[in-house]
Chain A
Amino acid sequence: MSRQSDRIRRLTTDALLISLALVLSIAERWIPLELLIPVPGIKLGLANIVTLVAVLCLYPIDAIALVTVRSLILGLISGLTTFLFSLSGGLLALMVMWLAGKLYDRVFSVIGISLVGAAAHNIGQIFVAGFILREPLLMTTYLPVLLLTSLVTGTLTGVAALPVIRWFTRSNQMKAIMKPVNPTSSGSRPDPLETKHPAQHNGSDV
């Protein structure tokens, strides 16, 4: 991390991921998901893909900076409530995904970490909405519907993040700016697209 080229690489990678998250946050507003799942205010959470990649591949400080700067810029574009929504949901999701990331590859796959992130994102946003509206009842009436939809959207964003994380784990150039391998895992970086296929399970091969 000390070499200057690595520092520049880290800065540009973070900047690229922030702009990617911003574009995804804005683009997902154009997707009329309400037509498929009739829940007002439901979103795909595409920016969660970027947070997921940052949590599993980069240092925690990069992920925190990414979420905060994304929320700030999004707030400048579309107002204070959007900023509070984005920040509360984003930071809570980040925290929960970081904790779940400790068990990555042993207990959870990328999809599982995406699931807890999507659920935490919704819980954080409902907290802020309940606070702004001064209506604690919002927790019981609206949250379960959002949680159920987060199972679907969380799976989709998790699957979408799989090839990106595989690219990071295989990249030689990114090695220097990635967080160290989990000491509890087998030592090498796990390939997120590697599966124990049912057919191979029963076979005689290793």
Chain B
Amino acid sequence: MVIDPTILMGAMDIGTPVEKVDNTTNKRQSVRWYHWLKWGDWLIYGLVGTLSAILLLSSPAISGDAASGAVLIRDGETIHRWSLQELEEGGSLAVDAHDYHYQIDYSDGRIRFVSADCPDKVCVTSGWISRPGQIAVCVPGHLMLKINSDATGETDQSEDVDVIIK
């Protein structure tokens, strides 16, 4: 879904309840929300914007690596691993974690939490993920679904020796 910036701009203009009368010209002028800002506020906009832009550009989700599969992690341990072929073939998996029950679906190289009985359902609203570095998390169930690229897949396997022996 694409965000229409005019919607946000329109929402910002809700905060214009004040009208001022200019003494010299006797013209009524509405006060816009940005007229309340002081120089420190603009500094915050700039700093936070720059910081998140730098973090965003350095995050693996942006990198062009090809996906090599997906992993399901509970409490920091990998409990299930999908290869790219399995993700393409499709299927589903039921998982229990910390008294909550989850249904995970995968098809066409994508994977998602399709249903969950956790309180906030952030994992389900995350929707399909398919690009390396993308994640879908459920904090109440301590669960994380993650797409691996070739680079991150290698480091995961060297940590998780059981998988190689098997």
Contacts and interface: CB of A to CB of B under 8 A. Distances in A.
Interface of A: 34-38, 40-41, 78-79, 81-82, 85, 103, 105-112, 115-116, 119, 129, 132-135, 137-138, 140-145, 147-148, 150-152, 155-156, 159-160, 162-163, 192-193, 195-200, 203-205
A143 B59 CA distance: 10
Contact of B52 (A105, A145, A199): A145
A199 B76 contact: no
B5 to A, nearest CB: 11
Interface stretch (B13-21, B79-87, B101-109, B158-166): B13-21
Given A133-B76, A147-B52, A199-B29, A115 B44 contact: yes
B23 A116 contact: no
Contacts of B40: 103, 107-109, 112
A192 B36 contact: yes
A32 to B, nearest CB: 9
Interface residues of B, number: 60
Contacts of B144: 133, 135
A151 B49 contact: yes
20 contacts: A40-B136, A106-B38, A109-B36, A109-B38, A111-B37, A112-B41, A112-B44, A135-B144, A137-B135, A140-B58, A143-B52, A145-B52, A151-B49, A159-B12, A159-B15, A160-B15, A162-B15, A162-B36, A195-B20, A195-B35
Contacts of A40: 122-123, 125-127, 136
Contacts of A103: 40
Nearest to B39: A107
Interface string B118-137: 01101101110000011111
Nearest to B2: A38
A159 B33 CA distance: 7
B119 A79 contact: yes
A197 B125 contact: no
Interface string B35-57: 11111110011001101111110
Contacts of A116: 44
Nearest to A80: B140
A109 B135 contact: no
Contacts of A151: 45, 48-49
Contacts of A108: 38, 40-41, 44
Contacts of B12: 155-156, 159
Most buried by B among A78, A137, A138, A144: A144
